[in-house]
Amino acid sequence: MTEADFLNSTRASYNAMAIDYDERFRDELAAQTLERAVFAGFAELVRNAGGGPVADVGSGPGRVTAHLHGLGLSVYGIDLSPRMVELARREHPGLRFEEGSMLALDIPDGTLAAVVAWYSTIHVPQERLPDVFAEFHRVLAPGGYALVGFQVGDEQRVYTEAFGHEVSLTFRRWQPDRIAELLAGAGLPVRARTFREPERWEPTPQASLIARKPPLPPADDQTADDQTAGDQAAES
């Protein structure tokens, strides 16, 4: 499958089921205690690092974008599906949502405080994940955070029907170790991870990883290095 093929089928599928997806998942976070704790911790980390713009990539109807906004982040949404973007704008008129793909973000280098990909990398073929994480690394400022949520597993599911609509959509499950390895390979070492067993209707365990682009060393370190070099020179 070419890149255009998988992006086109994902886009068309979410266009078809945007309204139903929104109705099904709108209130889901209310029942997800651990996920809300992850978002709260993540928001605090981002705020403590100085804050700044946050992109929720694959934002769908914007429920996570709105939740993160409520936690004090300057967050906006980006989604492949124009119907999802339209819906998110209608549901959250105070927030910004744009059309775009996580494989080629229209964002300048080193400008974001954080990137969130909440159950959206699940539609990207595994061999393209290094490109996605390289893109996250590119747009993050030094010290910026990435949060990735996904179902745990090894298999993929191809759906041809969802909510009564004809779709062509592949859902991929990942092993957290593999995703951590790919994030680290892109220059985003993982700082924290959650794993929980399935609850209610879920068929698989769920995981999230928080990775961080290494911050620049404090200017003082340079002074300390110069000082050490000076001391060593004086002693020799």
Ligand X SMILES: C[S@@+](CC[C@H](N)C(=O)[O-])C[C@H]1O[C@@H](n2cnc3c(N)ncnc32)[C@H](O)[C@@H]1O
Which residues are near ligand X by CB under 6 A?
Answer: 7, 10, 14, 25, 57-60, 63-64, 79-81, 84, 101-103, 118-120, 123-124
For the bound state, the minimum distance from the C-beta of residue 208 to ligand X, rounded and expressed in Å, comes to: 11
Which CB sits closer to ligand X, 134 or 143?
A: 134
What residue is closest to ligand X based on CB?
Answer: 60
**Residue 144 beta carbon to ligand X: minimum distance, rounded to whole angstroms:** 19
Q: How many CA atoms lie within 13 A of 230 on its CB side?
A: 6
Comparing CB distances to ligand X, the nearer of 27 and 235 is 27
- Closer residue to ligand X (CB): 36 or 143: 36
Q: How far is the CB of 58 from ligand X (least distance, A)?
A: 3
Beta carbon of residue 14, minimum distance to ligand X (angstroms, whole number): 4
Tokens 């991929």, residue located: 172
Q: How many CB atoms lie within 10 A of CB 190?
A: 18
Q: Kindly state the tokens that stand for 205.
A: 């365990």
Identify which of residues 57 and 180 has a Cβ nearer to ligand X in the complex: 57
Please identify, using beta-carbon distances, which residue of 46 and 124 lies nearer to ligand X.
124
Query: CA-to-CA distance for 60 and 48, rounded, in angstroms?
Result: 27
Beta-sheet strand order (sheet of 190-196): 97-99, 74-79, 53-57, 112-118, 140-151, 206-212, 190-196
Question: Which residue type occupies 151?
Answer: Q
d(CA 171, CA 122): 6
Query: Please, what is the minimum distance in Å from the beta carbon of residue 100 to ligand X?
Result: 6
